[in-house]
Structure 1
Amino acid sequence: MPIKADLTSADLTEIRQSALGAADPLGVAAELAEAAEAGKLADKDDAGYALALAAEIAESRGKLDAALRYAERAVEAFGTRDDNQAAGAKALLARVLFRTGRDDEAIAALEPLRPFLTQYGDAPAYVGAALAAGRRDRVAEEWLTEALNEVLAGRGDAAEPSSAEDAGQLFFLLQQRHRTRHALGLQHDHHDNLADRLETRLANAAARPAGTPADDLLFWPKAELEKLLEKWPALSEPYGANWDEHRAHLEKELVRLTGAGRTGLAVLPGTVSGLTGFAGADGDPADPQVRGGYANRLAGGTNQIPWPPERNGACWCGSGLKYKKCCLPRSRS
């Protein structure tokens, strides 16, 4: 699997999805590490991502010395970054340290990540996987319970979340803690019961009638949305009455699909001319079946926007703002 020059974040994500099935995954890992250190990345800030990916590949093949070397270099490359991607690299390093018998160093690497458990992102899974590798499930249960109680205290007297989206980071903490306690053989407590209720609601929401689910991921850039609503005002119901509502709808749907187990998600940028062209003379662009067919065509093409970006990366909507300052909070609005 040849590694091209000027790798982008999207290229690295594609490699993540395909590298383990490559004929020579360890060769891919070595090339990724070389690309990161030789400046063969389109964005030098992706060096940590590339090195962490190399470490994951090496770890999966039992090459722990190489995995440790790559993971240490990944953490160095991230430097003082404090986002989820950097936290993931540190947790990966801890996991490899556990697997090489360096337990004290692994715990020391994980301790600074505990504040991330209360922040929106994948930190509970990262930290949980590392502690599980070190057979520290009881430590994981303790840390997750502490973080969960902190998030619950922050909600105050708010009503019980009605959905995973409403729960936000609380849902991910509940899930990870629930699984950890199950592995320990502990009896359900009220937090476990809440996790079960939210997962049931999410499963029920995911089991909606088959139809045109890709339509939910159509993304109309601001100018296109304005043209769309001018032509077909009724489409404000599925897509939102303005660009802010439209982006909030998409972000919430993407979070819902992630909670339902979907991976490799992307939004599908559409255009009014593309939709009307797809509908043709006899089709109605306002018909959900027509829009679904158009979305499915886009889903089979290359003009997609991978989701989610990194918290400090550019937002998927093209606003020019960081994701954490733009569409990430919309899932909780």
Structure 2
Amino acid sequence: MPTKDVLTSADLAELRRSALGAANPLGIAADLAEAVEQGRLAAPEDAGDALALAAEIAEVRGKLDAALRYADLAVAAYPSRDDDRAGLARALRARILFQLGGREDEAMAELTPLRPLLLGQPDAPAYVSAALDAGRRSALADEWLTEAVDKLLAERAAGAQAITATGPAVEVGPPDAPGVLFFLLQQRHRVRRNLNLPHDRNDDLADRLENQLTRRAEQPLTAESELIFWPRAEFDRLLAEQPALTETYGPDWDAHRARLEKELVRLTNAGQTGLGVLSATVDGLLGFAGRRNGDPTDPEIRTGYARELSTRPSARVPWPPERNDACWCGSGLKYKKDCLPRSRS
């Protein structure tokens, strides 16, 4: 897939999914670096993410010198080394250093300060443990992950003062946004399984949480308000102003669109036809809530707003489009390249 003159955040997300399957992935990596250098990103703050993607592509293709060069640029592109995304780029850099050989001390110097990220960054357990595994330090990964899990469990037990028969009470999080503890437990579970370590209490907890999350993800969406669709700009504004709605609509726009796509597929399989979503605006929701003297986070208010939208033909976005037509979400990509695959993930 060739890159465009101007790359949007949606373009980067699509490249992350498809670049390694392209005819010339290393060319895409070079194009990404060039787009950053030439200022061809629609959102300049995406520079670090674009360069980190270039580094990962080059790493997978075995071009470690190029991968390290891109990783160095990625780390430098973030406003601060303390930025969580910069931390992930540093973990990637450490992974590459381990693979280059002879630079193990430098890799560990990069990784060790990242341990606090394990307590708050959902992607950190995978990035940090992958780096340690590349350096044949999987036992150390188990040690770091175990320490982080124990700390989070202790904090939650102390805060909630709730202990169940099988261990501290744990909140998994919604299906589209499982919590940091979930990712820690799952990554620790993988590391220990690869090390052939015996199943312990936290491995049991990891299995229970995964089963719980799977069951919740399989539950159908039933509220009319769940078919509200927030275009990208409206979605970002909504969560900025009403962060409590993250659990309802998803942690990011990709999760929001995936949730809707899966529900529409489920309804189709149940025999429903003439489906679509209701395109919403933050001003519209706030206005409706104001007229009802209600709170926009109240499910009844959101359902009422959805019913109001359903009376406006202009608000309805029909579904599904043809595979080669523009995606219903308004990203500008073809449906087959954007939301269609989300129903299968």
Per-residue displacement from partner, 1:44-83 (whole Å, max 9, x unpaired)? 2221111111111111111111111111111111251533
Unaligned runs of 5+ in 1: 225-242, 280-284, 286-290, 306-333
- Judged with a 3 Å threshold, the aligned counterparts in structure 2 of structure 1 residues 27 and 278 are, in CA distance, closer, same or farther, namely same
Q: Secondary structure of 2:173's partner?
A: helix
Give how far 1:213 is off: 11
Note the C-alpha offset of 1:212: 7.8
When normalised by structure 1's length, the TM-score is 0.68
Q: The residue matched to 1:165 in structure 2 has which SS?
A: coil
Flag the 1:54–1:120 CA change in 2: closer, same or farther, 3 A. Answer: closer
Output the CA distance in 2 between the equivalents of 1:92 and 1:44: 21
Q: Secondary structure at 1:176's aligned position in 2?
A: helix
Q: 1:214 to 1:189 in 2, by over 3 A?
A: farther
* Contact persistence 1:163–1:201 (CA under 8 A): no
Identity of aligned residues (%): 52
Report the alpha carbon displacement of residue 5 of structure 1 after superposing the two structures with TM: 2.6
User: CA contact under 8 A between 1:214 and 1:295: conserved in structure 2?
Assistant: no
Equivalents in 2 of 1:163, 1:10: separation in Å? 31
1:164 aligns with 2:203: no
Preserved CA contact (<8 Å) 1:95 1:133: yes
Q: Deviations over 1:139-158 (max 9, x none)?
A: 10011111112212211133
Note the alpha carbon deviations across 1:18-54, whole angstroms, 9 max, x for none: 2112221111111111111122222222211111111
Q: Deviations over 1:231-279 (max 9, x none)?
A: xxxxxxxxxxxx7765542237x89x97xxx996789762468744679
Return the alpha-carbon distance in structure 2 between the equivalents of residues 135 and 127 of structure 1.
13
1:10 and 1:119 mapped to 2: Cα distance? Answer: 25
Equivalent position amino acid for 1:270 in 2 = S
Q: Report the Cα offset of residue 178 of structure 1.
A: 1.0
CA RMSD, 1 decimal: 3.8
Aligned pairs (5 A) from 1:112-123: 112-123=113-124
Which structure would you say has the larger RCO, counting Cα contacts within 8 Å and 6 or more residues apart? 1
Matches within 5 A, 1:184-203: 184-203=195-214
Displacement of 1:214: 11
How much has 1:85 moved relative to structure 2? 2.0
CA distance in 2, matches of 1:87, 1:265: 29
Distance 1:86-1:147 versus aligned 2 partners, 3 A rule: same
Q: Does 1:270 align with 2:297?
A: no
Paired position in structure 1 for 2:239: none
TM-score of the superposed pair, with normalisation by structure 2 = 0.66
Give 3-state SS (helix, strand or coil) of 2:41's partner: coil
Residue 218 (structure 1) aligns with: 228
Query: Structure 1 pair 4/147, CA: closer, same or farther in 2 (3 Å)?
Result: same
Residue correspondence of structure 1 range 239-278 to structure 2 within 5 A: 246-251=245-250, 270-271=279-280, 275-276=310-311
2:192 match: 181
